[in-house]
Amino acid sequence: YKGSVRVGGDKFDEAIINYIRRNYGMLIGEPTAEAIKNQIGSAFPGSEIREMEVKGRNLSEGIPRSFTITSNEILEALTDPLNQIVSAVKIGLEQTPPELGADITERGIMLTGGGALLRDLDRLLIEETGLPVLVAEDPLTCVVRGCGMALERMEKLGTIFTSE
């Protein structure tokens, strides 16, 4: 199986911005959305509800205001992008050859990229797939480092890099 889903950190931030605009009538920027995601965002409901004071611009008054948002609200905001990720993982697993499926059952699914940093995304995927899920060490740079390693070994890897 090969495929890519364009859902991750940026889509999470966009979902938070839209949720706050819709439910609070407030405008926040991407850096604020990212801070919210990093501080109280989660892919799985937790026993502890976290809160964060957020500053933004009230859309009806055009004036800066503060408000408090909870981790449960952020989980609600992230529902659509999280569902897209879960769906893509399940589709990928359904299309995986049996031999690779056996490896995945044994070794697990590896999460990479900025989206992998969302608290409890691994836990959500464990619940949804019943498979082990691991977050890569340094998920933000591991893909590009792996590409660099593959390029260094291009002659040894041979036909992996050619399409015929």
| pLDDT confidence tier of residue 66, bands split at 50, 70 and 90 | very high
Q: H helices of the chain, where?
A: 9-24, 30-40, 71-77, 79-94, 98-107, 121-129, 142-152, 154-157
| pLDDT confidence tier of residue 160, bands split at 50, 70 and 90 | low
Report the alpha-carbon distance of residue 154 to residue 164 in Å, rounded. 17
Domain membership of residue 26 as a residue range? 9-77
Any domain includes 124: yes
Do residue 99 and residue 149 come from a single domain?
yes
Rounded average pLDDT over 129-152: 89
Rounded average pLDDT over 133-151: 87
Q: Are 14 and 34 in contact (CB under 8 A)?
A: no
Do residue 60 and residue 86 come from a single domain?
no
Residue in 133, 79, 141, 94 with CA at minimum distance from that of residue 111? 133
Non-local CB neighbours of 49 within 8 Å, separated by 6+ positions: 70, 71, 72
Residue in 53, 88, 84 with CA at minimum distance from that of residue 67? 53
Among candidate residues 28, 53, 77, the one where a domain is terminated = 77
Q: H helices of 46-116, where?
A: 71-77, 79-94, 98-107
- The yes-or-no verdict on residue 74 having pLDDT over 90 is yes
Any domain includes 1: no
How many domains does the structure of the chain reveal? 2
Report the alpha-carbon distance of residue 74 to residue 7 in Å, rounded. 16
Any domain includes 123: yes
β-partners of residue 56 are: 65
Q: Which of 64-68, 140-144, 148-152 holds the top average pLDDT?
A: 64-68
Q: What percent of the chain has pLDDT over 70?
A: 91
| Angle between helical axes of 9-24 and 30-40 (0-180°, round to 10) | 100
